[in-house]
Amino acid sequence: MNEIRHNWTAEEIIAIYNRPLMDLLYEAATVHRKYHDPNTVQVSTLLSVKTGGCSEDCCYCSQSARYHTEVEIEPMMSLSQVKAQALRAKASGSSRVCMGAAWRNVKDGPEFEQVLEMVRTINKLDMEVCCTLGMLTENQAKRLSEAGLYAYNHNLDTSEDYYQEIVTTRSYEDRLKTIENIRKTSITVCSGGIIGMGEALEDRAKMLVALSTLDPQPESVPINALVPIEGTPLEELPPVDIWEMVRMIATARIVMPQSQVRLSAGRMNMSREGQALCFFAGANSIFAGDKLLTTPNPDIKEDMHMLEVLGMRTQKPFEKHPQPTTVEAADSKIPALGEKPKWSRPQKVKSEQ
């Protein structure tokens, strides 16, 4: 029972999602206990190392240059700023630092070299380091791996069918190709999605099909609740109901038993009781810090207090996978190829939101 399956269908997943809640919770918690310590949560800190001015049109994002939001374009963070923030995160109990840059795709050059140096620096602090930098070639993935990157985040966001309603500047296939490039290295894959963007239950199920049929399944699966941002096309959408979040997490846990399921954006609108139910349903990671890239997030002290009240411990770095070795820039065996990959630009017309 509960072997890892890579052939889930949308119908099966919908049936799981719609089970009576107590049955769903019971099964998810049982699977969770089989593969994970149910009293351990990983705390990760998200740092926006390059904020705003993004050329993409992701409807949920405050950093797209196409929308009038309150986010200001900021220059890239310096290495010393990143190191100081990572040390602060470590001292607060975070085991992972996730660095995000508002880029369509990674371009070889000084900025990417700086990110590689940030990866080396954080790995040498004995913290797991993750990046989310947009689309990535195989050569760039190998260079990140050589620098000591532990994980790469590249969300599928939603189903392939609904994706074109949310993003028109790149295709689902590009997302999968980047994940494939990461899989050619020892970097672990972090990929999940967002609920509450106006999608149907079928889209949520199809996204879980796309993730769970990857072989291997992503080591980490963030489940985000949309945080509607003023100025974006999704600004008017209502908040996600906690029961939908609990059901989504429980379903993800059942179909991807080994993955670390991340209770990600949207926690500001959740009570501690709601979050505790998400942990019971199989979530075993949260993002800490007062901001998730640019959206508000609970204070880490409050999170630590919540975990203490629940009798949960924080996961130490490298409990799930070994620490990568860092190769210094001067010793690198993988030169930048300066490629100019042709990632797609579907520019399909969006239907009315």
Q: How many other C-beta atoms are found inside a 10 Å radius of the C-beta of residue 207? A: 31
Q: Residue 48 in contact with residue 295, Cβ under 8 Å?
A: no
Amino acid in position 257: P
Catalytic residue, chosen from 59, 96, 120, 130, is 130
Site size for ligand SF4 (CB under 6 A) = 8
58 is in an annotated binding site: yes
Find the shortest distance in angstroms from Cβ 104 to ligand SF4. 6
Residues in CB range of 48: below 8 A, 6 or more apart: 74, 77, 100, 101, 102, 291, 293, 294
Catalytic residue, chosen from 98, 183, 204, 278, is 98
131 among known catalytic residues: no
Q: Residue 145 in contact with residue 115, Cβ under 8 Å?
A: no
Q: Residue 165 in contact with residue 198, Cβ under 8 Å?
A: yes
**Mask: binding to ligand SF4, 60-79, rule CB under 6 A, as x and -?**
-x-xx---------------
CA dist 234 and 161 (Å) reads: 18
Q: Residue 270 in contact with residue 245, Cβ under 8 Å?
A: yes
Q: Residue 192 in contact with residue 221, Cβ under 8 Å?
A: yes
Can residue 102 be called a binding residue for ligand SF4 (CB under 6 A)? yes
58 among known catalytic residues: yes
278 is in an annotated binding site: no
CB-wise, 94 or 295, nearer to ligand SF4?
295
CB-wise, 54 or 147, nearer to ligand SF4?
54
CB-wise, 176 or 310, nearer to ligand SF4?
176
Can residue 56 be called a binding residue for ligand SF4 (CB under 6 A)? yes
* DSSP-assigned states of every residue in 123-188: HTTT-EEEEE-SB--HHHHHHHHHHT--EEE---BS-HHHHHHH--SS-HHHHHHHHHHHHTSSPE
**Mask: binding to ligand SF4, 115-144, rule CB under 6 A, as x and -?**
-------------------x----------
Find the shortest distance in angstroms from Cβ 227 to ligand SF4. 12
Binding residues vs ligand SF4 (CB under 6 A) = 54, 56, 58, 61, 63-64, 102, 134
Q: Could you give the residue numbers annotated as active site?
A: 54, 58, 61, 98, 130, 190, 262
Annotated binding site: 54, 58, 61, 98, 130, 190, 262
